[in-house]
Amino acid sequence: MESEGYLDIKTLNPEKIVSYHKLVVNGESRKKYIQVGHLTDDGTGYYKYCSYNKFSDQILPIPLSEDGWINNFERMRHEYDEDHDEETFEEYLELSKKSFARWVDNHICNPNVKHFAPKKEGLDKYKNCDLYKTLDNYSIGFIVLINRENNETHVYGITRDVLPDDYNGDEIVLFDRLIVKYKPSEIFVGKSIFNEMTDFSGGYGEVWDGNSILLRIGHFNEYRYIYIGTEVFEFVVDEKITRYTSSVGNNCVPYPYAESKNWVYDMLRCQKFPVSDNMNRAVKGHVFDSENANAQDINVTNIARRGTEDVKSSINCDKPMIYITTGPFELCENTCANEELPLVQHVNKAMSENIYCASLQDQLPAPTVPATYGYGCIIF
């Protein structure tokens, strides 16, 4: 049997990436299937996606709508809510196309990137440094290395190369991209101590030190600071910051804030509030719920955006996503002609007024939508 070949990476065009979606119902389960590929030059077939920048050189026929498949444009069209007040369909479509292009770049195809290869010299060269990992939900935002002798600080972001398929999410060797370095005059290592928030989340103690970090890079009467958390940005304030707290809430999300004589600074919303409006902040452990007319925006200069938004890795299209039904549903006989899929029954009638948010629309009126439109075709 001849082994499968792959397209030459030089011939790949991200603009020719297509995706087809189908939701099938088998008993009480709902599974979403996705097929991703690279269109042929004439657009009559496609090359199957195998992994990042790797496509089979065998041409497959375009999945048929008669079998319940919809392409990505149709998914966007049916997903759009006609009662949406914030944007027109054209605006929504433009945003969806940008989202799809970013998804393609992160998980499917970019002939200009390479796969990650460990370097001989990693972060081990920083032997006199304390290493901290800022948090971004359950992921690492940035690696921060602070020299114990001179305070020189290096900030590393995750690699822009394609991650190995077996990457476990906690290998600092993959943070090989030096974003910026400073020699700050003052360093605030964010600590998550016991308070109302951390009592609920369990996220307190020394193990959480460095979940976010604040550096002062201004000298004398210049109050310039660098925040390092889910992103990196610079800002200037009128008073010297004297205290910094970074409580870790649910889902490993930090809620950092800084204090000066008269102000409290919320790092997540880039706003400041009078100290007098947040007298119970130490008890609560955060100021995130503070809303008042005295709030003022802080002007920030972005240095590095959220690194987890640009992680490049392969996805497994052969494994369907599973959705939980809110049922009950009335099912019709199987109409799927694809014998490779398990026995399938398409949703024919929704017995309730609403369908779970995995559906193409937030709400679908009873009794029916055509099975060929599919349900749950949301991947972003």
Q: What is the pLDDT along the chain (380 residues), one digit of tens a residue?
A: 345 699 999 999 999 999 998 888 776 677 888 899 999 999 999 999 999 999 999 999 999 888 889 888 888 877 776 556 677 888 888 988 999 999 999 999 999 999 988 776 667 788 899 999 999 988 899 999 999 999 999 999 999 999 887 776 556 778 889 999 999 999 999 999 999 999 999 999 999 999 999 999 988 889 999 999 999 999 999 999 999 999 999 889 999 999 999 999 999 999 999 998 888 899 998 987 766 668 899 999 999 988 777 789 898 877 766 554 444 333 333 344 444 433 222 232 222 222 222 232 333 333 333 333 233 222 22
Which residue matches tokens 């990137």? 113
Please answer whether residues 203 and 247 qualify as being in contact, where contact means their C-beta atoms are separated by less than 8 angstroms. Answer: yes
Question: pLDDT value at position 320?
Answer: 67
Of 81, 80, 36, 29, the C-alpha closest to 55 is 36
Question: pLDDT value at position 353?
Answer: 28
Spatial distance between the Cα atoms of 373 and 65, rounded to a whole number of angstroms: 8
pTM assigned to the model: 0.73
Question: pLDDT value at position 369?
Answer: 32
Three-state secondary structure of the chain: CCCCCECCHHHCCHHHEEEEEEEEEECCEEEEEEEEEEECCCCCEEEEEEECCEEEEEEEECCCHHHCCEEHHHHHHHHCCCCCCCCCHHHHHHHHHHHHHHHHHHHCCCCCCCECCCCCCCHHHCCCEEEEEEEECCEEEEEEEEECCCCCEEEEECCCCECCCCCCCCCHHHCCEEEEEECCCEEEECCCCCCHHHHHHCCCCHHHCCCCEEEECCCCCCCEEEEECCCEEEEECCCCCCEEEEEECHHHCEEEEEECCCEEEECCCCEEEEHHHCCCHHHHCCCCCCCCCCCEECCEEEEECCHHHHCECCCCCCCCEEEECCCCEEECCCCCCCCCCCCCECEEEECCCCCCCCCCCCCCCCCCCCHHHCCCCCCC
Spatial distance between the Cα atoms of 189 and 258, rounded to a whole number of angstroms: 11
Question: pLDDT value at position 324?
Answer: 47
Question: pLDDT value at position 361?
Answer: 30
Give the pLDDT confidence of 18-39 residue by residue, as tens digits: 999 888 877 667 788 889 999 9
Query: Domain residue spans in the chain?
Result: 9-112+315-373, 123-310
Give the pLDDT confidence of 236-277 residue by residue, as tens digits: 999 999 999 999 998 899 999 999 999 999 999 999 999 988
Question: pLDDT value at position 220?
Answer: 82
Question: pLDDT value at position 88?
Answer: 84
Question: pLDDT value at position 199?
Answer: 92
Q: Record the tokens describing residue 102, joined without a space.
A: 């970013």
Which residue matches tokens 């940035």? 142
Q: Which residues of 297-335 are buried (b: 16+ CB within 10 A; e: fewer)?
A: ebeeeeebeebbeebbebbebeebeebebeeebeeeeee
